Amino acid sequence: MDNEQVAACDGSSRRSSAVLATQCHSLLEAIAGLGQTGSVAQHVVVVVVVVQRVYSIPVPSASIASIRLHSKTSSAAPPLEQGKRRLCVLVQDSFGMFSVVQLHLLDRDDLRQYCRAWLGRTCVLRGVKVVQRVTRERRSSLFSLIDSLWPPLKQPRECHGNAASMPSKRPPSFCYVLSGQESSVEPVEESSSVSPLHLPSTGQTLRDVLQNDHKTYCCSFIATVIYKRIQRCDVGQGEVWLVLTDQSLQGSSPDWPCRRTVPLHVNASCALTSCVLKALNDPAVCRLSFTDAIKEHGFLLCVEHSIIEVADSVDSRLTQEPPAQPARLDPLHVEVTPNSLCTLTGVIVGVDESASYSLPVCSQCGSHELQPIPPPGWSFHCVSCNSTMDKPITKVQMEVFLSSASVQNCTIKVKCSDYDVSTVLGKEVGPLTLYVRVVSRRPSLWISLEEICL
């Protein structure tokens, strides 16, 4: 590939800041030409693409450290850099080829403005460099997103006898990661509306999502979060488990693989905006919109390209009514997976003495995050609800073994509280609302559960 061919891939030329730019419609031809044109300052190749997705990726801590090193500020992490992410766009040319373009750093809450400006628009791409070529085998989550955009809405163009740049009828097996700046992406002036080649994510019900039997599958839905476990790390960088449901799971009979509720893992690479964090930290049930989440081997997962938003702030025309509270749960069954919810009725057949203890909890909210208030006395401050009390309540935490008629040949251990240890054996309990902590299947089925309140 030489310069003439790059310039010839489309006849039209375009004047931009007194630099002659040649418009090209093929990402691969433009990329092939980058090596040679990079040094020719007066001749720039711009590529016409459709912005299919706008998202952000985490900035590796090493590159934040190097920014810090250069800025020569104090050794403490400047709060401004926390929560910085790199803006990314997934673009597609009219031959069907995709590229990821990594752009400038932004605050996690600023993504929306770029979605509004670029998503679905025909844009020109200029001043980009090749970072790497990635393959389907190495970046399965990116390619599940690409697969969800395949086939293109319009038959891809035939390339001028250049087999290298012509993707086949199948989705591409590789794509280039490019880097650029904010000015590298510019909507084409005449396209104030969404391109006919843009394929937006379409919302589904959770039932549709669970019934899809693709091994790895990109999906979008709105769901009610009925339970959450947030591992406290940096704000917005933590690993989060959510238990979701919607009317499609609550309303009809649960037949496998459909359940009443489904767990979703939010990977630490997925951006949680301050709005979403606020909703998740609120004890009330919230509804979230998940765009381009991944279902892999039956599990739901949000990764770096997935977008989570508070459902009330997104278009709600296609959403269903939130399910009635409290949500209905599945009874414990042998196929149960960790981090899901279930109910169970059973008889206490044993107490794990080593795991039983009593602890002081807040008399207002039940939290165990209490701090003694100096001078040493009997006064405590609750970190969770901010109240002060003289006497916390003593709560007995214990782990008991249950036997249940509904799940046979299985050791069931439940972490629960508020039972009188002396009278607990032989007592029938339930239905308990339980969070599944661990499921071990070897040498025999062993399920560890924790009693929770919804």
Closest CA to 332 of 426, 429, 418: 429
Confirm if 360 and 379 have CB atoms less than 8 A apart: no
Q: Which stretch binds Zn ion (CB under 5 A): 239-247, 293-301, 326-334, 364-372?
A: 364-372
CB of 369 to Zn ion, least distance (A): 8
Confirm if 272 and 240 have CB atoms less than 8 A apart: yes
Summarize the chain as % helix, strand, coil (round to 5): 20, 40, 40
Q: Does 365 bind Zn ion (CB under 5 A)?
A: yes
CB of 453 to Zn ion, least distance (A): 14
Confirm if 300 and 294 have CB atoms less than 8 A apart: yes
Confirm if 107 and 73 have CB atoms less than 8 A apart: no
CB of 372 to Zn ion, least distance (A): 14
Q: Does 382 bind Zn ion (CB under 5 A)?
A: yes
Distance (Å, whole) CA 117 – CA 251: 38
345 vs 384, which CB is nearer to Zn ion?
384
Q: Does 383 bind Zn ion (CB under 5 A)?
A: no
110 vs 369, which CB is nearer to Zn ion?
369
Q: How many residues bind Zn ion (CB under 5 A)?
A: 7
CB of 405 to Zn ion, least distance (A): 38
Confirm if 356 and 367 have CB atoms less than 8 A apart: no
CB of 364 to Zn ion, least distance (A): 4
Q: Which stretch binds Zn ion (CB under 5 A): 105-113, 203-211, 251-259, 356-364?
A: 356-364
Q: Does 363 bind Zn ion (CB under 5 A)?
A: no
Q: Does 379 bind Zn ion (CB under 5 A)?
A: no
β-pairing, 203-204 vs 216-230, is parallel
65 vs 385, which CB is nearer to Zn ion?
385
DSSP type of residue 111: H
CB of 370 to Zn ion, least distance (A): 8
Q: Which stretch binds Zn ion (CB under 5 A): 288-296, 340-348, 359-367, 437-445?
A: 359-367
- Is 210 in a helix, a strand, or coil? helix
Residues 297-326 that bind Zn ion (CB under 5 A): none
Beta strands in 190-285 (DSSP E): 203-204, 216-230, 240-245, 262-266
Token pair for residue 169?
A: 């009828």
CB of 387 to Zn ion, least distance (A): 5
Rule CB under 5 A: choose which of 82, 367, 379, 417 binds Zn ion.
Answer: 367
User: Rg of the chain over CA atoms, in angstroms?
Assistant: 27
283 vs 443, which CB is nearer to Zn ion?
283
Q: Which stretch binds Zn ion (CB under 5 A): 64-72, 307-315, 346-354, 380-388?
A: 380-388
Strand partners, 58: 85
Q: Does 36 bind Zn ion (CB under 5 A)?
A: no
Q: Does 362 bind Zn ion (CB under 5 A)?
A: yes
Q: Does 364 bind Zn ion (CB under 5 A)?
A: yes
Distance (Å, whole) CA 101 – CA 212: 30
Distance (Å, whole) CA 377 – CA 391: 11
387 vs 406, which CB is nearer to Zn ion?
387
Alpha helices in 229-354, H assignment, sequence order: 247-251, 274-281
CB of 314 to Zn ion, least distance (A): 33
Distance (Å, whole) CA 224 – CA 326: 11
164 vs 385, which CB is nearer to Zn ion?
385
Residues 384-423 that bind Zn ion (CB under 5 A): 384-385
Confirm if 166 and 95 have CB atoms less than 8 A apart: yes
365 vs 421, which CB is nearer to Zn ion?
365
CB of 388 to Zn ion, least distance (A): 10
Question: Which residues contact Zn ion (rule: CB under 5 A)?
Answer: 362, 364-365, 367, 382, 384-385
